A and B are shown apart, each in its own frame.
Chain A
Amino acid sequence: MLAPTLLLLCVTQADSLGRWVSTHNELGGVHAVAAMADAGDVAVLNADTGIVRLGLGPEAESIDLSYSLHRPKGLAIARDGRIYVTDTGQHRVMYFGSDGRMLGGFGGPGTGPYRMRQPHAIDVSDTITVVADTGHDRIQLFEPGGKHIRNLEGASLGLRGPEGVAIDDDGRIWVADTHNHRVVCLDQHGSVLQNIGSWGTFPGQFMEPSGIDARDGRIVVADRLNHRVQVLDADTGEFLESWGQHAVFPRQGAGKVHYPADAALLSGGDVVIAEPFEERVQRFGRGGSEITPPTLAPRGVQSHFGPVAATDGRFFCTWEPELRAIHLFDLDRTTPLRLSTFGEPGGAAGQLGVLTAIEVDADRNRIWAVDAGNRRIHEWTINPPPPDQPRFDPTMAALSRSAPLPHAGPGDLARIDGDLARIDGDLIYLDRAGATAWKLSDAAQHAPIEIQLSRDPIAVVLAGTDQAGQRRAAILDAEDKAIRLHGQWRDAASTEATISLSALIDPVDLAVSQDGSFIVVDRAGHRVHRFAIDGAALNAWGERGSDHGQFWRPAAVVVDHHNRVIVLDHGNHRAQMFEPDGTWLMTFGTGRAWTRKPDPATANKEAN
């Protein structure tokens, strides 16, 4: 298989903004950038730590707001220096003085008019504050003091998971309508003034636009899955320019763009983008240098695996967000063999939006996925080849059903082992944003489950029912950093035991190995940890990097039926397989797999 170059060129004219100025690394999960008061510099927000840096220079002040925030994703700096943060994990907005002193907050979980669900972005002007209330598909308007004015929402407006919002110089509100893959401009009463773009890759189209800023007649959009920045004219909506070349080598900066989450416009016309995936921020502007054309990618270049994974029997599933396709692998080979890639993007019947959870059943040849973009649960039937005659077949999985799932969002799916052939009773969906669990039904009459959940349940593992008939579940709580056990687990002291994960920075997924130990992946810590059921830390492995056995923002973990731990090494675009004791077994993607680490001499030759 040839590895063609991925090339997204820009129109570089003399006055182009898309010239690379600088890269600032080591900024953690930097999810938001906001121009500071005089718009000469930016403040950046690390979503992993809740720390705000006021400026990019080495002397910039860092303000620790973690005491009051959980996974904050949006930032705005008011003219008087106040810091506004969307406290996404706690469904509210908090604001602070420029010294970090908490001044107040508004919002909070719930469904009322000024309640929020996973707000992702905020902008403030002298007269209004606007919040992208992402999980409720609406924009909320407040007075500067926090008094709620109105919401911009409704079926005719039709926002879907908007993750970016900005106020322009004329008071118009620009929204990055992420899961509609478009940008809309609204007046302060919700009338649509401009409706720009659709899903796609050419100029003026977007793939999950997730950040937006407006200044001096220009709009800049962080076009996340297109790995580029687009600039539009604020008055006409006309596309002006775009730039962004996908990184070819890991951590490549120098103007290469990789999953930009937010963008800010400075007063001199410079643009700063936040790339939490790369833990960095990059600055572009007229005074910068030309971005060098990309080099040819090495053969066997890695795959864009997205942050979900599932396994059962010989099957392993993950998905590729840019393609909107699910990959199905056969694990019972020397190295995992890709059996099928299926799925296509779109909002129409049977098409895929953003998948946030996957489950697979090898006995009954079923795959399920929660689609947060289209608010549905999809079910496929697999027609696999005999184990001794594997082949790649894009038609191997057929969509059999797709039911509406109104609460589809970030979360997890878990399958109960059973004899039933229908969804009903088979699947539990953990709705992270709403902190509820649902039993999914065939007829789309999904029933909430009575189970005690904390405020940020991020992953769930089910293991049948205990002797008392109670469902046995392990739920990973990202807010309290703990695993909560429900029901009587073998050797656990009592029901509702808790395993503390306080030593981890950012636990995001959980799996159970055959000996009953828990495997937890720490995304911002770039490490995998293993705990016994009594909470004892057994072992941990991995460190930040791109070599085999290293991770870059690992996002998911499963244990296969050979008791091998498979880690979805998101930032390195690959999956890695280990023994539970941390011994590295192999690295694989949709291209080649490595079972032996190459010696440095060969590795250098390949890189050149």
Chain B
Amino acid sequence: MRLFPTYAAAIAALMLTAGCSQRPGLKDSALTEDGRYRVTWWKTPPNPIKANSYFELFVEVEDLKTDKDPSDFRFNATMPSHRHGMNTVASPWRFKRDAWILRDLNLHMPGEWVMTFDVTDHNGVLHRASETVILE
């Protein structure tokens, strides 16, 4: 785990600069289908996501209905028309009670990818937000 303090510093730097008018990286957000959570993610440069290039995501989850912490968060990306997923495992590391870092993500083909952000609440119910990206 000795890499994580370095990471934390990097993300802290990212967050500090996020306060400025020039946001670093790509920021986007989506609501889960049922409107319970808002998922916001920042991507480390380069932007936009390039096919077959490794990237990291910093994700924040906001519960819009209760004040309980989400119990779990998972990320996945698939190309539904090709019936395959990523070739890398997205292992989220819980950075704060409502924020996760995902590294070594790689969407290895150009085309349409669906990224899914799965938040599990304290009842074990999973809520999904998804975002489609088309990589050139």
B125 within 8 A of A: yes
Measured CA separation A399–B126 after assembly (Å): 9
Measured CA separation A398–B116 after assembly (Å): 9
B33 near A400 (CB under 8 angstroms)? yes
Measured CA separation A376–B120 after assembly (Å): 13
B81 near A394 (CB under 8 angstroms)? yes
A400 near B132 (CB under 8 angstroms)? no
Chain A interface residue count, CB cutoff 8 Å, equals: 20
A170 within 8 A of B: no
A403 near B124 (CB under 8 angstroms)? yes
Taking CB atoms, residues of chain A closer than 8 Å to B120 are 349
Q: Which of B34, B83, B112, B114 contacts A401 (CB 8 A)?
A: B34
B18 CB, nearest partner CB in chain A, Å? 28
B128 near A400 (CB under 8 angstroms)? yes
A342 near B80 (CB under 8 angstroms)? yes
Taking CB atoms, residues of chain A closer than 8 Å to B123 are 403-404, 443-445
B127 near A401 (CB under 8 angstroms)? yes
> Which one of A342, A376, A381, A402 has the greatest number of beta carbons of chain B within 10 Å?
A402
Chain B residue at smallest Cβ distance from A342: B80
Q: Which of B81, B126, B130, B132 contacts A403 (CB 8 A)?
A: B126
A444 near B124 (CB under 8 angstroms)? yes
Taking CB atoms, residues of chain B closer than 8 Å to A394 are 80-81, 83
Measured CA separation A33–B125 after assembly (Å): 41
A61 within 8 A of B: no
Measured CA separation A401–B116 after assembly (Å): 12
Given A344-B78, A348-B74: A398 touches B128 (CB 8 Å cut-off): yes
Measured CA separation A444–B74 after assembly (Å): 20
A366-391 vs B, CB cutoff 8 Å, 1 = contact: the mask equals: 00000000001000010000000000
B85 near A402 (CB under 8 angstroms)? no
Taking CB atoms, residues of chain B closer than 8 Å to A399 are 33, 116, 128, 130
Taking CB atoms, residues of chain A closer than 8 Å to B132 are 395
A400 near B127 (CB under 8 angstroms)? yes
Chain B residue at smallest Cβ distance from A406: B124
B126 near A401 (CB under 8 angstroms)? yes
Measured CA separation A444–B124 after assembly (Å): 8
Interface residue ranges of A267-300 to B (CB < 8 Å): none
Taking CB atoms, residues of chain B closer than 8 Å to A443 are 123, 125
A425 within 8 A of B: no
Given A349-B118, A381-B33: A401 touches B125 (CB 8 Å cut-off): yes
Measured CA separation A227–B123 after assembly (Å): 38
B78 near A350 (CB under 8 angstroms)? no
Measured CA separation A442–B126 after assembly (Å): 10
Chain A residue at smallest Cβ distance from B82: A394
Chain B residue at smallest Cβ distance from A392: B81
Taking CB atoms, residues of chain B closer than 8 Å to A398 are 33, 128, 130
> Which one of B34, B74, B83, B128 has the greatest number of beta carbons of chain A within 10 Å?
B128
Chain B residue at smallest Cβ distance from A381: B33
Given A395-B114, A443-B123: A401 touches B85 (CB 8 Å cut-off): no
B33 near A403 (CB under 8 angstroms)? no
Chain A residue at smallest Cβ distance from B120: A349
Taking CB atoms, residues of chain B closer than 8 Å to A401 are 32-34, 125-128
Q: Which of B34, B74, B76, B81 contacts A400 (CB 8 A)?
A: B34
Measured CA separation A523–B45 after assembly (Å): 58
A395 near B80 (CB under 8 angstroms)? yes
Taking CB atoms, residues of chain A closer than 8 Å to B126 are 349-350, 376, 401-403
Taking CB atoms, residues of chain B closer than 8 Å to A442 are 125
Tell me the B residues contacting A by CB distance below 8 Å: 32-34, 72, 74, 76, 78, 80-81, 83, 85, 112, 114, 116, 118, 120, 123-128, 130, 132
11 intermolecular pairs with C-beta atoms under 8 Å apart = A381-B33, A394-B83, A398-B128, A400-B33, A402-B125, A403-B123, A403-B124, A403-B125, A403-B126, A404-B123, A443-B123
Tell me the A residues contacting B by CB distance below 8 Å: 342, 344, 348-350, 376, 381, 394-395, 398-404, 442-445
Give 19 A-B pairs besides A344-B83, A349-B72 with Cβ atoms closer than 8 angstroms: A344-B85, A349-B76, A349-B118, A349-B126, A350-B116, A350-B118, A350-B126, A350-B128, A394-B80, A394-B81, A395-B132, A400-B32, A401-B128, A402-B128, A403-B125, A404-B123, A404-B125, A442-B125, A443-B125
For the complex of A and B, the 10 pairs showing the least CB-CB separation, nearest first, are A400-B33, A394-B80, A402-B126, A403-B125, A404-B124, A349-B118, A444-B123, A349-B74, A399-B128, A395-B80
